[in-house]
Chain A
Amino acid sequence: MLKSVRSKSRSKREETITAYLFLLPVILLWLIWFLIPTIQSFVISFYQYSFVQVSQNHFVGFQNFIRALTEVDFYQALKHTLIIAFVAVPIQSVIALLLAMALNLNIKFKGGFRTIFYTPYVVSSIAVTTVFMYFFVMGTPITKFFSLFGIDNTTWYADFNLALPFIVMIYVWQQIGFYIVVFLAGLQTIPAELNESAKVDGADSFRRFFYITLPMLKPVVFLNLTFGMIQALQVFDQVAAVAQNQPLGSPAGATSTLVSYFYVQSFKNWDMGYGSAVAILLFIVIFIITMVQKKLLDDSGEE
Chain B
Amino acid sequence: MRTLSKTLLYILLGLLSLIFLIPIFYALYTSLLPLQYVDKIVPITKINLNNYITLFQKTEVVQWFFNTAIVTVLTVLGNVVLNTMAGYALAKFNFPGKKLIFMLVLASMMIPFQLIITPMYIMIAKLHLHNTLTGLIVPFMYNCLYIFMARQFFLTIPKEIEEAATIDGLNKAKTFFKIIVPLSGNIITTIVILNFTSTWNSYLVPATFISDKSKYLLVVGLRTVNDQFFTRPNLVMAGVILTTLPVLLLFLRYQKYFVQGIATTGIKG
Q: Which residues does A use to contact B, with CB under 8 Å?
A: 12, 14-16, 18-23, 25-27, 29-30, 32-34, 36-38, 40-41, 44, 51, 99, 102-103, 105, 107, 113, 115-120, 122-128, 130-135, 173, 177-178, 181-182, 185-186, 189, 219-220, 223, 227, 230, 234, 236-237, 240-241, 244-245, 259, 262-263, 266-267, 272, 275-276, 279-280, 282-283, 286-287
Contacts and interface: CB of A to CB of B under 8 A. Distances in A.
B172 interface: yes
A14 B171 contact: yes
Interface in B109-151: 110-112, 114-123, 125, 138-142, 144, 147
B18 to A, nearest CB: 9
Given A131-B237, A244-B227, 5 more contacts: A14-B171, A26-B142, A37-B123, A117-B20, A122-B251
Nearest to B17: A116
Interface stretch (B46-54, B59-67, B95-103, B181-189): B95-103
Contacts of A123: 201, 243-244, 247-248
A38 B6 CA distance: 54
Contacts of B153: none
A26 B116 CA distance: 17
Given A14-B171, A115-B252, A262-B114, A124 B219 contact: yes
B contact residues, range? 35 or more
A241 B266 contact: no
Interface string B59-81: 00000000000000000000000
B223 interface: yes
A124 B200 contact: yes
Contacts of A131: 23, 26-27, 237, 240
A269 to B, nearest CB: 12
Contacts of B207: 240
B116 A37 contact: yes
A130 B236 contact: yes
Given A26-B142, A107-B10, A272 B267 contact: no
19 contacts: A18-B89, A18-B172, A22-B93, A29-B82, A38-B119, A41-B119, A51-B125, A99-B13, A120-B23, A123-B247, A123-B248, A124-B203, A124-B222, A130-B236, A181-B262, A223-B266, A263-B204, A266-B118, A286-B112
A12 B93 CA distance: 10
Overall SS of chain B's interface: helix
Nearest to B83: A26
A22 B84 CA distance: 9
A191 B23 CA distance: 37
A186 B259 CA distance: 12
Contact of A36 (B119, B233, B263, B266): B119
A14 to B, nearest CB: 7
A286 B113 CA distance: 12
A182 to B, nearest CB: 6
Interface string B150-185: 000000000000000000000111001000000000
A130 B226 contact: yes
B45 interface: no
B106 interface: no
B9 interface: yes
Given A234-B114, A272-B118, A119 B123 contact: no
Nearest first, the 10 A-B pairs at minimum CB distance are A40-B119, A37-B119, A19-B93, A33-B139, A22-B89, A37-B116, A124-B201, A16-B95, A19-B95, A26-B86
A26 B85 CA distance: 9
A66 B208 CA distance: 27
Contacts of B101: 23, 27
B170 to A, nearest CB: 12
A125 B222 contact: no
Given A37-B123, A41-B115, A135-B23, A15 B9 contact: no
B42 interface: no
B88 interface: yes
Interface in B3-53: 6, 9-10, 12-13, 16-17, 19-21, 23-24, 26-27
B39 to A, nearest CB: 8
A286 B201 CA distance: 23
A245 B19 CA distance: 29
Contact of B208 (A25, A237, A267): A267
Given A102-B9, A220-B267, A279-B114, A130 B222 contact: yes
A185 to B, nearest CB: 5
A119 B24 CA distance: 9
A244 B230 contact: yes
Interface core residue of A102, A131, A276 (most chain B CB under 10 Å)? A131
Given A19-B95, A22-B86, A29-B139, A44 B119 contact: yes
Contacts of B237: 131
